[in-house]
Amino acid sequence: MNRIVERFARLRERGEKGLVVYIGAGDPNLEATRRLALAFDDARVDVLELGVPFSDPLADGLVNQLAAQRGLESGTTPTGVLDTVAAIRRDCAIPIVLYIYYNLIHHHGPERFIADAARAGVDGLLVLDLPPEEAAEYNTRMETAGLCPIYLIAPTTPEDRIEAIARNARGFIYYVSREGVTGMQSRVADTIGTMTGLIRRHSDLPIAVGFGISNPDQAREVARHAEAVVVGSAVVNEIASHGRDDKLVQHVAGLVQGLATAIKQPL
């Protein structure tokens, strides 16, 4: 069974909510990425999203744009990310999703990239700029490889398109709780409950809510409406603050542990 599917099934059995953490791969370097992944597994992170550095990250706010830039500066390539996933797999089974722009997949060759990702131990791909209407061949290749195509739904997505997206999604659905790009916010959106309810009319997949969730209180609030909470920019910002520190992993793992504790306490 795919590790993402298995993890959410286990969370459902336990009556727990999940924590999805995003970091930029190669920020500050790929060895740090490997060590952070192992620490996140110990900190009860349920899914790790690795952002594959790209020169034009159009869906990302400043914090994650800078992480992508640092990843590129450290020499990180898609092949290097896959090698790092394979290294992580030697020590732990944390579910891993690559957060990636399609140009990188196209350059590598879609069939080859998906096969290489599965071989390395990737469990799903979240392709930011691949419209579901143009993803039939991609979806077939993902199914053949046993990978989950993760799709985004936004507050502005009309219901007929939600239905179409949900039909093609596997693993979980990523609900973007705010319009615009990634980034930390002072409060969570007040439409999350309404939108997750609408999505559930068309899918029984777990819903993970992200964009703008920055601290344990916000994460716990969002967990009332979703099966999982996604935190990215706050973690990436912590990496940026301690990237040259020998205790980088301990600093970042401490933040993530606080998020996990808040989400996994009984609501």
Rounded Cα–Cα distance for residues 221 and 195 (Å): 15
Bridge partners (DSSP) of residue 231 are 21
Burial tier of 159 (Cβ tally within 10 Å: 0-12, 13-18, 19+): exposed
Distance (Å, whole) CA 211 – CA 15: 24
Candidate list 16, 27, 46, 60, residue with the active-site label: 60
List the helix and strand counts (H, then E) for the chain. 12, 9
Residue 116 among the catalytic residues? no
Closest CA to 149 of 167, 162, 161, 239: 167
- C-alpha 11/C-alpha 172 separation (Å) is 13
- DSSP E strand stretches across the chain: 18-24, 47-51, 96-100, 124-127, 148-149, 151-153, 173-176, 207-210, 228-231
CB 84 within 8 A of CB 36: no
- For residues 192 and 160, give the distance between their C-alpha atoms in angstroms, rounded to a whole number: 18
Residue 115: left (phi > 0), alpha (psi -120 to 50), or beta? alpha
Q: What are phi and psi of 219, to 5 degrees?
A: -60, -45
User: For this structure, is 60 an active site residue?
Assistant: yes
Catalytic residue among 16, 46, 49, 123: 49
Position 135, amino acid? A
d(Cα 148, Cα 191) in Å, to the nearest integer? 27
**Catalytic residue positions, numbered:** 49, 60
